[in-house]
Amino acid sequence: MPCRRATSRLGHTATYYYFGKDVALTFGTDLPFGLNSRMKNAWFFHGGGQQLFDEFLRTKYGVTGFISGSTNCQMGGWFRKEINTLDDLKGLKFRVGGFAGLILQRLGVVPQQIAGGDIYPALEKGTIDAAEWVGPYDDEKLGFVKVAKYYYYPGWWEPGATPHYLFNLAKWNELPKTYQAAILAAGQSRVCG
């Protein structure tokens, strides 16, 4: 998807997953210690953020996109051992997505990029020591509480995460304006509703 020029028609993702290709993609989803959901919506819809990010996506990747909801502030994650001091983080293998891993590395954490479906088995087997995903509802569905008994809040690395709908620019431009308007309205209803 945003890793190279658009070859797919559309996608739904958190653009910060691709920060290794371009750190600017982090701004689309969330920055550690950044804006909460209301602030992010204000920036995107009233502060020029949508136009800036869309210009970046268009010129660099041949994509257009817009935010499609918000996860709000995420949890700090599930840990197999209790964390009481910064020293407890040293050597901790922590599944954490995006740019936050670079900051946590400075604290001695060993960041792990693991897909959602692989987190539970990795925690269960001890391949990783901790994991963050989204929040209590999603985390409970994945069963993290069964294999990691310490749950911490907040996840300072995602104070207001916003996933994106991304569209191949050429395919988006082929859509009738009424279809574009319907897609935009549906995406914004996830943000405002």
Question: How many domains is the chain built from?
Answer: 2
Same domain, 28 and 87: no
Give CA 4 to chain center in angstroms: 19
Provide the pLDDT for residue 79.
97
Give CA 155 to chain center in angstroms: 12
Give CA–CA dist 61/144, Å, rounded.
36
Q: Is residue 3 part of a domain?
A: no
Same domain, 138 and 107: yes
Give CA–CA dist 36/113, Å, rounded.
24
Is 26 within 8 Å of 15 (Cβ atoms)?
Answer: yes
DSSP E strand stretches across 35-174:
63-67, 77-79, 93-95, 110-112, 130-131, 150-152, 164-168
Same domain, 97 and 142: yes
Give CA–CA dist 147/130, Å, rounded.
10
Q: Is residue 4 part of a domain?
A: no
Is 187 within 8 Å of 10 (Cβ atoms)?
Answer: no
Same domain, 148 and 164: no
Same domain, 43 and 64: yes
- 117-170 pLDDT, tens digit per residue, is 899 999 999 999 999 988 888 888 999 999 999 999 888 988 888 899 999 999
Range 19-28 average pLDDT: 91
- The model's pTM is 0.80
Q: Is residue 172 part of a domain?
A: yes
Same domain, 83 and 144: yes
CA 139-140-144 angle, 5° bins: 70
